[in-house]
Amino acid sequence: MRITRQTLLKIAKDKVTQVARENRGLLAAYLTGSMVREIDPVFGGTADIDLVFIHDGEPPLAWEVVRLTEAVHLDIYHHERGRYRHPRSLREHPRLGSALYGCQILHDPRHFLDFAQASVRAHFFRPDYVIKRARGLIHLARETWFSFQFYDSQPGREEVKTYLDALCNAANAVACLNGFPLSGRRFLLEFSARTNTIGKPGLYAGLLGLMGAATVSGEEIRAWIPLWEKAYQAVRIDAPIDLHPHKLPYYRKAIDAFLESPAPLNALWPLLSTWLRAAERLPEGQEDFQNWQRAFTRLGLMGDEFKRRISGLDVYLDMAEETIEQWGNERGVG
C-alpha cells in the first residue's frame, strides 16, 4: 500500500463517518498531529492518524489504537465536551489550545468546534499569550529541578521519568516561541529546527547533552535496539496504550531511520521515552529491566551521574528562561 497524505486523510474521514453513524452521542471530531502540519506525515515508512472525538457525555475510554496495516494505525482520543467549555482560556493551554488552533474539523453538525476554534485562533499568537504558554511550561520544569535539591537516594524509574518530563517541558517552552509544542518520534529533529529559527542552536545541543548523548554513538544506540524491543514486547499483556503492540513498528522504523540519517542521536527520544515506559512495568530482577537499567546508567540518567544531570538541568533552565525573557522583551511583553 502506497501511503500518501491523501490516502491517510480519506481513512480519517471514513472512520469519522462510520463512528458518527454508529454513535449519536458524538458531538464533533477533528484531525490533528502531523496530518495537519507542514511536514510529511510518513516517517520511516510508517504513519499514525491522530483523531479526537468529542462526546456529549463521558466517553467510553480515553484513547484507543486501531491498526489499519503494518505501517499505519489510528490514534483516537476521546474527550468530553467540558474540556472545550471555555475556549478562550485554551489560548494559554500549550497542548489542547495548539491542537484546536491547527486542527482540521471533520464532523461538527452543531458548529460546536467552529465556535471553539474561532475563539482559540483569535490572538493565539499574540506575544502575551505566547509568553504565558512558554512560562507555564518552563515553570513546570523548574519545579522539577527544585524537587531534586535535597534528593540523596539513587534514582529509580519514577525519578528518571520526572527528569525526562522536565526536559520535555523545558524544550517545549522554547518551542512554543515559534510554533506548537513538540511530541512523538520527531521531537529532537523538530526541536533542532526550532532552535535554529530563533538563533539558539545551543539549546538543542544542550538538550542532547542532558540526555547523555555525549556518552554514546549511533552504533551503541543501534546495539540497544534488540534489548529495547524485547522489553517492549515483554509488557505486551499489561502495556499502556502508548506502548500498544500495533505501535511497535511505528517506533522501530523511526528509530532505524534516524540511525541511518546524518543525525543518529535524534533516535534517543523515541527510544528512551518508550523504553522507560516499558521499564515502569518490568519486575526489577528481570533481565529486561536490568538491560534498561544498564543503558540508562551508561547515559548518566541513573547512578552517580544523575546528580550531575540535575546540575546541568539548572544551567539549561537558566538558558531557556533567558531566551524566553529576551523574546518577550523584544516584543514589549514584560
Helix/strand/coil percent split, the chain, to 5: 60, 10, 25
Among residues 93, 121, 149, the one where a domain terminates is: 121
Whether residue 149 is found in the same domain as residue 278: yes
Work out how many domains the chain is built from and give that number. 2
pTM: 0.95
Residues 206 and 190 in one domain: yes
Mean pLDDT for each 10-residue chunk of the chain (334 residues)? 90 97 94 93 96 94 95 97 95 96 97 97 97 98 95 92 98 97 96 97 98 96 98 91 96 98 97 97 95 98 95 98 97 88
Asked, for residue 180, whether it belongs to a domain, the answer is: yes
Residue 20 resides in a domain: yes
Phi-psi region of 64 (alpha: psi -120 to 50; beta: other; left: phi over 0): beta
Same domain, 101 and 156: no
Q: What is the pLDDT of residue 48?
A: 97
Q: Hey, CA dihedral for 301, 307, 312, 313, is it positive or negative?
A: positive
Q: Which of 166, 157, 171 is CA-nearest to residue 276?
A: 157
The answer as to whether 184 is a domain residue is: yes
pLDDT score at 1 = 65
Whole-angstrom Cα distance, residue 88 to residue 56? 20
Last residue of a domain, one of 84, 100, 121: 121
Q: Mark whether 158 and 194 lie in a shared domain.
A: yes
Residue 176 lies in a domain: yes
One-letter amino acid for residue 248 of the chain = L
Q: Is the dihedral of CA 64, 246, 271, 194 positive or negative?
A: negative
Q: What is the pLDDT of residue 271?
A: 98
Same domain assignment for residues 71 and 90: yes
The pLDDT of residue 12 is 97
Do 114 and 158 lie in a common domain? no
Residue 58 Cα distances to 17, 62, 324, angstroms: 20, 10, 38
- Domain shared by 84 and 173, yes or no: no
The Cα–Cα gap between 92 and 106 comes to: 24
Q: Are residues 136 and 227 in the same domain?
A: yes
Instruction: Give me the domain span that covers residue 149.
Output: 127-321
Instruction: Specify whether 137 is located in the same domain as 228.
Output: yes
Residues 225 and 157 in one domain: yes
Q: Are residues 104 and 240 in the same domain?
A: no
328 within a domain of the structure (yes/no): no
Cβ atoms of 90 and 97 within 8 Å: the answer is: yes
Instruction: Single out the residue in 97, 121, 145 at which a domain terminates.
Output: 121
